[in-house]
Amino acid sequence: MKLKGILIQVRDDKAALFQEHICFLEVMDLTPNNLVSYDLISKPKIHWKDIEKFDYVILGGAGHHSVLERYNFTPYLEDLIIKIVDRKKPFFGACYGFQFLAKTLGAKVVEDISRAEVGSFKIYQTKEGLKDPIFSKLPESFWANSGHVDHIDIPPKDMIVLAKSERSPVQAGRVKDTLIYGTQFHSELNRKRLIERLLMYKHRYIPDKESVRKFYTSLKETSEPIKILPAFLKEVSNSLKAYESSSNRFR
């Protein structure tokens, strides 16, 4: 089954917008026709009708933006997230996208530069993660690439925490009884793409020589996180097939 998705992007810089889209296409082995880009900065008034025809929605990272600040797109995106959750539309949030999902549902999100994760960090699955249809395919612990200073400290009540790190207690989660997922780390970034991304935002994440040194020292090859999005697509496809099969039986 050929799925079609939409990637909602929160990027001021056109180069970063393009780079993020390419990263998702690469890791999911898709073409731009299968995963279309929606530029939320230039079109902030997003509505359900803009995503309704797509099989799944991805909300990516945001560079200089923070979920702790409100922008012209914030109320529209909040309303959309609530509809996605209520209607159980398959969704994946990456970094900012995961934070926005969680905060909209009632999570406590904080800025804490002392716990910033910029580079490669060890991720540890929870017991729930090891039983999850997507995360159970990964090792109990693995390296992942990150670039964030905001953290989900307390998840919303309907979110199952799937993974954590030493600095951040909610590294991945899923809304109960849905295919609505998110990761704090970047499931779409390998080592090369992470370097590209952070150099675009170096004034926020690696502003001085010492932070640059720590960043490059931390980098690891991260082969496990890039399996998550293809596994998410497989789960969405299986869900749609099961729904179609069930519908056909009752015709």
The residues annotated as belonging to the active site are 95, 186, 188
Strands, sheet with 35-39, edge to edge from the N-terminal-most edge strand: 35-39, 5-9, 56-59, 91-94, 180-183, 172-175, 159-164, 117-125, 141-148
CB 98 within 8 A of CB 159: no
Cα distances (Å, whole numbers) of residue 89 to 18, 32, 186, 231, 248: 25, 21, 21, 16, 21
